[in-house]
Structure 1
């Protein structure tokens, strides 16, 4: 426990977390501080390309093995199972109806790529290596949760359940996923030679860019919390804190079954504990327009995202290390 608290304290004092806290404070205090939308998008593109490329180069250096296939299967299974667990928990802990609970469940079954990127930065800062193919696992965990969420909504009497061709296109060709997988394939094709050519661009500036991006995320989260005041009750907020721990526990079981390293296990736990606030909200607007965005966006971005950044990631890393003997 002391090791976990020490890691959490160290993470709290990192430039990345403090940048997020600054943005959160500025938004709650109604400061005029803002990050232009074009700049925020550029920062996002940089982070996705960087993490994808480095993951592909890592796979090229170490080769593809059976664990890659098993990890992909585990990720897809988690993305399909977690929404069912989240839906049941939301119906017990919160007053949400079937449609809102299904929409929330879809967010928690999918993943937050920014939380994943933050976890890789924390692990790298602590000298903990992880499997490069975890980038591919992250991408594979986007779509299954959306399909399950629509099934849950239809089962609960909601209007969703049918997946139109346009929705499939929006899910599978989501810009962040295309860039992440594309960069991963470029890194895998060019390997260490390609990494050496652009290392000064995608390695050294990475943490500084992440600080600016998390500053913007803090601003977005703070504005969401302000606007959603009175929408979320105690039970709903509690769900946003409990569900990441449930997801991380399922992720740990899957990581142990696959045989991931301590770093890989920590990343899979982080993915299973995170909640989407980019791809899934876009899909829910199309497929479940009757669901309340103030609920699912505030839960994922305003409650679970800060929890994972501040406490979750160091907790998952410590538990993964202890469970895998790392």
Structure 2
């Protein structure tokens, strides 16, 4: 009964947080036929500010860390983000009825990190007197950016491949690169140089450009004063506006979820545990290589189990506008985050068993 009560309390707490509360509010407004609109230029401005804030904050945390101690865990964190997206692309985006764009946006958020879940893990360790490295907070941008960029690139590659094999006049033809894709079952090879073009286009896209610019400013400049006086105070309010917009769009596209909602529910409930175990395994490797603490291993597992509720939604909305917010925000924040938070004691117990706390 205690477990059921904990689950209900955690779900209720998630519903009350701005990310989900404003998303649901936007859906309710759209369902009631509200004429509320946020102008497109305002939306774009909000996304840029949000991603600049996320990037600057991440860059500042990396700048203030010991890069020697950070190196191995940071590489591990980036690899975790990439592996989660690659596995998710096969498991979720490959399911019948799940569009590749929706699937990759969802696994991108699951590969990225929830700062609130990480904070919950830190608080739990501190309350139990379990030590961890001071640079742990600086690991999240490595996992975050690696997962988001990988998901966006793979989604765009899939879209280009689908466009290349799109039927014209009843026959599948290659719109780029001649007829080389015939007989490949829809898996036409991409035109040479196209992958490089997609990578360059992804980096140059407004969302990723703003994120990378923020990272660079946080690392190499001293934006602390403007960050504290401008970006940090505005952040939650701007995020609520973005989620309101996404909620209204989500309602209009809810019909697309018919027939595949069960797939997203299953993924949202199981993925955090699988991803957390992947993170735990990478943390153990870092522990044996560098003496990474047991508390650090737990928090790396928590980061892997979590799904982004801050940097991910605006990044995906900006970079993959075709993706359905009902799928990726609802699955990650509505299901993934509660499961990730409830799994923290599991990772603590595993660390105690494998390493000793």
Which among 39, 42, 47 is matched to residue 39 of structure 1? 42
- Could you say if the C-alpha distance between residues 38 and 11 of structure 1 is closer, same or farther in structure 2, counting changes exceeding 3 Å? same
Question: Where do residues 144-223 of structure 1 align in structure 2 (5 Å cutoff)?
Answer: 144-145=150-151, 146-147=153-154, 150=158, 157-158=185-186, 160-162=188-190, 164=194, 165-190=196-221, 194-223=223-252
- Could you say if the C-alpha distance between residues 271 and 170 of structure 1 is closer, same or farther in structure 2, counting changes exceeding 3 Å? farther
Query: Contact (CA 8 Å) 1:16, 1:207: kept in 2 or not?
Result: no
Query: Contact (CA 8 Å) 1:76, 1:141: kept in 2 or not?
Result: yes
- Could you say if the C-alpha distance between residues 251 and 279 of structure 1 is closer, same or farther in structure 2, counting changes exceeding 3 Å? farther
Q: Which runs of 5+ in 1 are unaligned?
A: 283-292
Aligned length: 293
Task: Name the TM-score, length of structure 1 as normaliser.
Answer: 0.75
The equivalent residue for 1:286 is none
- Could you say if the C-alpha distance between residues 36 and 244 of structure 1 is closer, same or farther in structure 2, counting changes exceeding 3 Å? same
SS at match of 1:186: helix
1:80 Cα deviation after fit: 1.9
The equivalent residue for 1:60 is 63
Greater Cα shift, 213-222 or 151-160: 151-160
- Could you say if the C-alpha distance between residues 102 and 310 of structure 1 is closer, same or farther in structure 2, counting changes exceeding 3 Å? closer
Which among 8, 11, 14 is matched to residue 11 of structure 1? 14
The equivalent residue for 1:269 is 305
Q: Which structure has the larger Rg?
A: 2
Structure 2 CA distance for aligned equivalents of residues 27 and 126 of structure 1: 36
Which among 96, 99, 106 is matched to residue 104 of structure 2? 106
Query: Contact (CA 8 Å) 1:241, 1:307: kept in 2 or not?
Result: yes
Which among 57, 79, 91 is matched to residue 85 of structure 1? 91
1:25 Cα deviation after fit: 0.5
Greater Cα shift, 242-251 or 70-79: 242-251
- Could you say if the C-alpha distance between residues 188 and 321 of structure 1 is closer, same or farther in structure 2, counting changes exceeding 3 Å? farther
Structure 2 CA distance for aligned equivalents of residues 156 and 239 of structure 1: 27
Q: Which runs of 5+ in 2 are unaligned?
A: 124-133, 163-180, 284-295, 352-357
1:204 Cα deviation after fit: 2.3
Greater Cα shift, 120-129 or 178-187: 120-129
Superposed CA RMSD: 3.5
SS at match of 2:92: helix
1:203 Cα deviation after fit: 1.8
1:14-34 CA-partner distances (Å, limit 9, x unpaired): 344322221111112221012
Query: Contact (CA 8 Å) 2:77, 2:300: kept in 1 or not?
Result: no
